Amino acid sequence: MWLKRFIINTRAILSLFLLTGLSCIHNTAKDTQRGIIYRNPRVYNVEYTFELCPDGDSIDPSKDLKLWIPIPREWDCQKGVKIISIEPEPHGTYTDPEYGNNILFYDFGAVPVKDIYMVKIRYRVEVFEIYTDIDPQQIASYDKKSDEYSLYTRSTNTTKINPEITEIARSIVGDEENPYMNAKRIFDYVVKNMSYTDINRERGTGIESILNYAVVDPVTGEKHFEGLCTHYSVLFVALCRAAGIPARGVCGFTGWGPWIEEKDLKLRNKRHTLLTSEGLAATRLYGPFDGHIWAEFYLQNIGWIPADPTWNQFGYQGNTKLTITKGRDVKIGPNLTEMDNGVYGDQWIPLQNGRANTIGWGVWNIAKIRVAKAKTLHTSDPFPADAYAEYVQNLFPEGEKKEKLKNWRKEHLLSFYIARKRITAKDNIFETDRRLRVVREAYMCQVLCDITGEEKFQKIFDAYLKLRLTNGKPISTEKFREISEQVYGDSLGFFFEEWLGNTSLPQLSLDHVVAEKREKDWKVYGKLIQADRAFHIPVILTLETDDGHENQKIWLDDITHSFEFITKNKPEKLTVDPDYHIPTVRWMPARLKYLWNSYPELNVIYGTLAEADANKKAAERFIDEFAGLSHEHIKADTAVKEIDLQKSLILIGRPETNKVALRFHDSFPVIFEKDRFTWQGVVYNSPTQGVAQIIENPLDHTNTVNLYAGLSGDATLKVCDKSEWQQELDGYYIIDLNTSYVIYDQHNKLTSGDWEDSDSDLVWNFE
């Protein structure tokens, strides 16, 4: 009865949502829209399996085989929840009265003895992106007499508001009274003063597990705290509550991996196999999802605002966060006895007074049963469901759309290029790396937009999303094609047949390009050739001249296409698809963040020729503060073997101080000359300046080399200063910025960018 009522209520809520919020579903929210914006739903078809694996000789089946499992429900950013099946039928169902979480109860002591007790749940859900644009002056006062205000500002066992928390909150907010501004101040404090450290198993997850182990700076006396995402969340929530701001924790899955199949399932983290000193266990996670805990705070007359201090995301939430439960210290239901407290729990943390610290995967006998597994798989709807969700994340806000889309295209072309480098010429990159199939499909949305034009493209997906969300089930590709052709007004058979009928990409190359000087002008002509097969696609050609540039749009409809420019200006360079609209395998410049492609096999080499102490310290800080690895990954430049140089490398110190950097000196675009370096005609010679840059490893082009080098030891050390770079780079770090190079002075970015496109197939230089 409970499940039937849940499904009926879900459909009713979704219908109301569609009637009242259709514009945000359709991604037509404007920059002038204020408040909370829900857009770009991503569909998850999830299969969740929980396995309880008891040792039959060490348990009492009548007492030790209870299990509570949460299932997702509707929230503001999570719609269309449909519980498809639950096997076996639960022995009880429960909605906790405080937070509204839905929980299933099993008592396997009442069934025949098994080696493994298994629950399998299949459900469908649409998860929305959240953007916020808050005017602090429009926030109403809280109704402090309401039950909700009392619930979300109270002190609990986990979120304890003790005198120290109260004092910290008071010092953060000062005289500020606006709750939005105070929440931001608290958020910034947590981000700055927490470091990500695995302490869950040893210390617990309550406020005491944070405050009692504070690290005091011996110089400044400032306190810094340690913890995982659960600790970031609970500290933020406790400080908000102490400041009178309603707040709560959120527990769920993060990630996305429809290409992962059951045969691919692997244990996500070996620490889940460990026990506490009291012998308490944790659920072992398998599949594409990580467990994660973040937070929300409430603004009167506006709603719940997402805040994830672990990820440094304030007021924004992506559509790859699937909410399972909300709140801390959750009552798990009536099927509990007093003796179950301290024996049953979730992720090493026992129940307290019938309440779970959080309930994400399942509550079970963590004292008696050593092995429990949570396995998650999810599948996609037919094209274009996942593809559009990936593509459209770049379309908002409107003012950032052009730059975001171009960076997105460049990043994915780089992934194609890297994949091609790592396989033989005859292999298909989409067969060797299934993740790239999803990238290819997302890029198909760009191609479709270029074919139909932006206005019709948006109308196509308005109709598609409305149908999908209204029906609450997958829409076939055939139906999507029907919608597309109806809006476009003509057949799109060539698009669907060429792109969905195979897994290849267009391969383009310029041929026989000639710049001919005539009496009054120049004539540039040549051929654009497609290899292997012909795709019907529009392509932009850009001709750079001594007086600017000229664009020409051509439609390819055969293997060979002739083109012609007539210009009054002297031609200098011709580029095919300069803004990367065509998905293809082409040379792309590496970006600093691609150092993580080699993680955890990082090889950090510091220079000893000069400034050795500073270089070594920078290497150690990189490993400790960014990579979280052992110092075995660090080597002096004098201890490196020739075979090591063929790997992906992280070099610390400029060539004058680092033998390996000197070895690769001529391969880096930004060239050092003792106490200076030059880039694009500008000379940098201040000891406070430096550069971070990445190139393909000249000894093995499948790997990369990152160089972090200042014009002094102190300048080199600056690359590891986290908080200063977060402030300068809007939350990012200089070591893995999404560019090929960054030139800096102290903690100020002077310039950054990507290396110039040098693909000889798509760029023709006339000089």
> Tell me, what's the pLDDT at 283?
96
- Residue 39: name the closest of 497, 414, 398 by CA: 398
Q: CA dihedral defined by 210, 216, 221, 224, rounded to 10 degrees?
A: -40
In the predicted model, residues of the chain with pLDDT beneath 70 are: 1-33, 200
CB 403 within 8 A of CB 414: no
Which residue type sits at 44? Answer: Y
- How many Å apart are CA 106 and CA 83, to the nearest integer? 17
Which one, of 242, 3, 753, lies nearest residue 234 by Cα? 242
Question: Cα–Cα distances in Å, from 710 out to 414, 466, 638, 684, 743?
Answer: 28, 54, 20, 10, 9
Query: Residue 426 has which token pair?
Result: 């005859």
| Exposed / middle / buried, residue 312 (Cβ in 10 Å: 0-12, 13-18, 19+) | middle
- How far apart (Å, rounded) are the C-alpha atoms in residues 325 and 359? 7
d(CA 441, CA 430): 11
Per-residue pLDDT, 285: 97
Quote the DSSP letter at residue 627: I
Residue 192 burial (CB < 10 Å; 0-12/13-18/19+)? Answer: middle
Per the CB < 8 A criterion, the answer to whether 94 and 333 are in contact is yes
C-alpha span between 510 and 760 (Å, rounded): 8
Task: Give the pLDDT confidence score for residue 24 in this predicted structure.
Answer: 47
CA distances from 354 to 299, 343, 358, 368 (A): 30, 11, 12, 18
Rounded to 10°, the helix 435-452/477-488 angle is 20
Using the Cα atoms of residue 664, residue 708, residue 758 and residue 601 in order, give the sign of their dihedral.
positive
Tell me, letter by letter, the H, E, C secondary structure of 367-415. CCCCEEEEEEEEECCCCCHHHHHHHHCCCCCHHHHHHHHHHHHHHHHHH
Q: Minimal CA–CA distance to 152: which of 228, 240, 220?
A: 240
Q: What is the pLDDT of residue 561?
A: 97
Q: Are 314 and 184 in contact (CB under 8 A)?
A: yes
How confident is the model over 617-675, as pLDDT tens digits? 999 999 988 888 899 999 999 999 999 999 999 999 999 999 999 999 999 999 999 89
HSE-up (13 A, CA, CB side) for residue 144 = 5
The one-letter code for the residue type at 128 is F
**Other CB atoms closer than 10 Å to residue 720's CB: what's the count?**
23
676 CB-near residues (< 8 Å, 6+ apart) = 683, 684, 685, 711
**510, 574 in Cβ contact below 8 A?**
yes
Contact status, residue 686 vs residue 406, Cβ threshold 8 Å = no
pLDDT digits (tens, 9 = 90+) for 272-330: 999 999 999 999 999 999 999 999 999 999 999 999 999 999 999 999 999 999 999 99
Give which of 575, 587, 572 is closest to 755, Cα–Cα.
Answer: 587
User: Of 18, 120, 25, 14, which is closest to residue 67 (Cα–Cα)?
Assistant: 120
Q: What local confidence, expressed as pLDDT, does residue 33 receive?
A: 54
Q: Would you say 708 and 716 are in contact if contact means Cβ atoms under 8 Å apart?
A: yes
pTM over 0.85: yes
For residue 690, the cross-strand partners are: 710, 744
